Structure 1
Amino acid sequence: MVDTVLARKETAPARSQARPATAGLRPGGRRGRLTPRFIGYAYLLPAFAVYAVFLLVPFAHSFYLSFFSWDGITDKKYVGLANYTDALRSAEVRGAFTHAFVLIAFYAFLTTAIALVLVGIIGGMRIRGLVVLRTILFLPYVIAPVVTGVTWRWLLSPDGPVNGAFRAVGLGSWARPWLGDFDWALPSVGVMGTWMLYGLVMVLLLAAVQRISPELYEAARLDGAGPVREFLAVTLPGVRNEIVVVLVLAVTAALRNFDLIYATTQGGPGTTTQVPSWMVYRQAFFVGDLGKASALGVLLTALIMILSLIILRPWKRS
């Protein structure tokens, strides 16, 4: 009897060691559910920390400052929603947001239209040097916006190449100080933004076109579709999701446009090119009212989020 008990004790550890590590855990048990999720959060944590430190925390601080009147030096004075009401009642602020919507027409719609035309032309080309051509077309996007602004300021100057070209072909009446003209300054900035963004939009749409099955194009040709019908029936539906992404990026770029304005017109002539981001800068560093500047920044952020949700909503339903 004693020998039997001792034999059982000696064999018990061997049995426990032979048992698999997952024994006793049901498939899909608590540990199985939490471990992948925990690993995913662990990978996201460093990026989220950087995002929080450089974006969320400053935005929260700006939101806090928007309820105060403060010049950045003396004591803050709580004013509640006065900064927001003053901004919404100001004709100058409303004009700045109106100018931003004009830029949206250039940044979003004109840019997308040009990129779609280029995609329709380049997408079907099979020639040498196509990669070089795409790189050249993409180049404006990788140039710093300030450099772009300085270059275009020279091009559109009264004695610049653009006016010189008009005079050379007998269209001297078209020459004008583009960035100093009350009617043409804002459209000129819009053209600069279009030139700067179309390369990115084109690359995104070209990547989408390359994922479209060639069989769809063959079927369209068998049905007698020409190039235009083929583009409308196959290419355009195939890049629908990318167009939504492009519109969000372009609308955001138009609303937070600051670099081009700073490098070219600085809100002038008068207030014809004044946009919300420039007003935030001017209110903070020229007027010295950080409270109103913060309120304008919060309103601008809210508008960007609202427009982005409006653009994305139909795409989520589809």
Structure 2
Amino acid sequence: MKYTALTRAYRRRAPGEPRAIGYLYILPALIVYAVFLLYPFGQSVWLSSQHWDGLTVATPAGFDNYRALFSDPSLRAPFLHALLLLVFYAALPVAIGLLLAAVMSRVRVRGMTFFRTVLFLPQVLALIVVGVAWRSILAPDGLLNDTLRAVGLGGLARPWLGDYTWALPAVGVIGTWVGTGLCMVLFLAGAQRIPRELYEAARMDGAGPLREFLTVTLPGLRPQIAVALTLTIVAGLRNFDLIYITTSGGPGNATSVPAYEVYHRAFETNQVGSAAAVGVGLTVLIFVLTVTVSRLVEGRRA
């Protein structure tokens, strides 16, 4: 009787090895994940509830550091700057990438491979190199201002990275340049998987290039758009390298973003608890935005 009951219980299980064996396979990865990600994140959550300068004994702060994220203008501003930069880091690269992919998939031009390589090149370069190069281009005596003066538009020349009005858009343009190539390559790969029959059917119905793009190409690229938005949103929100190299959060705090604010508060002003709260808040913001993008795309596909 006992043997029969055990046999029936085993047969009710999913085919393959017992589930416990499956957990053993992923145990090494789970250990690494827990040690290097979950444990540090837990430490950050704990530090965010403390007043600590990194040297003396920490004192409990409760939710004071989190309340400051909403009440302190110097902490609200970096998050607002990061959300504004998403226009340059996510929206514009996706839009330009879609446009380039649509044109390249319809028009055959000599040197197309070279053109794709040049656009994708920023993904290969380290962001430190990108920041140094663009800092030189946007300097008061840099290439951009010299070009404007050479063509008679010297009145438009300005210290782009030192101007309170233009510093943040200038950094955003760099992010657009970096992200466009990645989006274009993703969309080109996705466009190649769209059945040619759909385009032929659309043309037989009298669809022009714009309608063909809206009714065939765009719906077929939804998975790639979701991936591109996720990658660019995460890259934009955790942006530190470009800000540190080009402006260091200046002028004033006109280009400060959460990732830079974490560094500034933890290592320059010794506000470790506040820095940890900013880091936790940034993590939550990234999670909410990426999940929202994924759910919106899944809902549309359903």
Query: TM-score scaled by structure 1?
Result: 0.87
Residue 117 in 1 paired to residue 99 in 2? yes
1:74 is paired with a residue whose SS is coil
Deviates further, 291-300 or 86-95: 86-95
Look up the equivalent residue of 1:134 and give its one-letter code: R
Matching of residue 54 in structure 1 with residue 23 in structure 2: no
Between 1:197-206 and 1:305-314, the stretch displaced more is 305-314
Residue 190 (structure 1) aligns with? 172
Q: Pick the aligned partner of 1:133 from 91, 115, 120.
A: 115
Match of 2:268 among 286, 290, 296: 286
* Pair 1:87 & 2:33 matched: no
Matched, 1:176 2:158: yes
Question: Relative to structure 1, is the Cα distance of residues 127 and 107 closer, same or farther in structure 2, using a 3 angstrom cutoff?
Answer: same
Structure 2 CA distance, aligned partners of 1:46 and 1:119?
40
Structural RMSD (CA): 2.0
Deviations 1:256-295 (A, max 9, x none): 1111000000010111101111111111001112111111
CA distance in 2 between counterparts of 1:247 and 1:120 reads: 18
Deviation at 1:30?
A: 5.4
After TM superposition, give the deviation of residue 242 of structure 1 in Å: 1.5
Match of 1:78 in 2: 60
2:250 pairs with 1:264: no
Change (3 A) 1:215 1:39: farther
Larger Rg: 1
Asked if 1:250 is matched to 2:222, the reply is no
1:208 aligned partner: 190
List per-residue Cα deviations over 1:222-250 (Å, max 9, x = no partner): 12222222111111111012212221222
- Compute the displacement of 1:49 (Å): 2.7
- Change beyond 3 A, Cα 1:228–1:276: same
2-structure distance, mates of 1:265, 1:104 = 18
Deviation at 1:131, TM superposition (A): 3.0
Q: For 1:35, what is the secondary structure of its paired residue? A: coil
Q: How many residues are aligned here?
A: 295
Partner AA of 2:213 in structure 1: F
Q: CA–CA distance in 2 between the matches of 1:60 and 1:105?
A: 31
Which piece of structure 1 moves more, 80-89 or 115-124?
A: 80-89
CA shift for structure 1 position 70: 1.3
Q: Judging changes above 3 Å, is the alpha-carbon distance between structure 1 residues 128 and 291 closer, same or farther for their aligned structure 2 residues?
A: same
Q: Give the TM-score of the pair, scaled to structure 2.
A: 0.91
Deviation track 1:153-197 (CA, whole Å, cap 9, x = no partner) reads 000011111111111111111111100111100000000011111
Name segments (4+ residues, structure 1) moved above 6 Å: none
1:221 maps to which residue?
203
Verify the 8 A CA contact 2:234 2:286 in the aligned structure 1. yes
Q: Sequence identity, in percent?
A: 53
Which residue number in structure 2 is paired with residue 151 of structure 1?
A: 133
More deviation in 277-286 or 122-131? 122-131
Instruction: Note the alpha carbon deviations across 1:97-155, whole angstroms, 9 max, x for none.
Output: 11111101111111111101110111224455433332221111121111111100000
**Aligned in 2, Cα 1:143/1:231: closer, same or farther, shift over 3 Å?**
same
Tell me what 1:96 maps to: 78
Question: CA deviation digits over 1:9-29, x for unaligned, max 9?
Answer: xxxxxxxxxxxxxxx966972
Distance (Å, rounded) in 2 between the aligned partners of 1:50 and 1:93: 33
CA distance in 2 between counterparts of 1:122 and 1:301 reads 37
State the one-letter code of the partner of 2:200.
Answer: E
SS at match of 1:73: coil
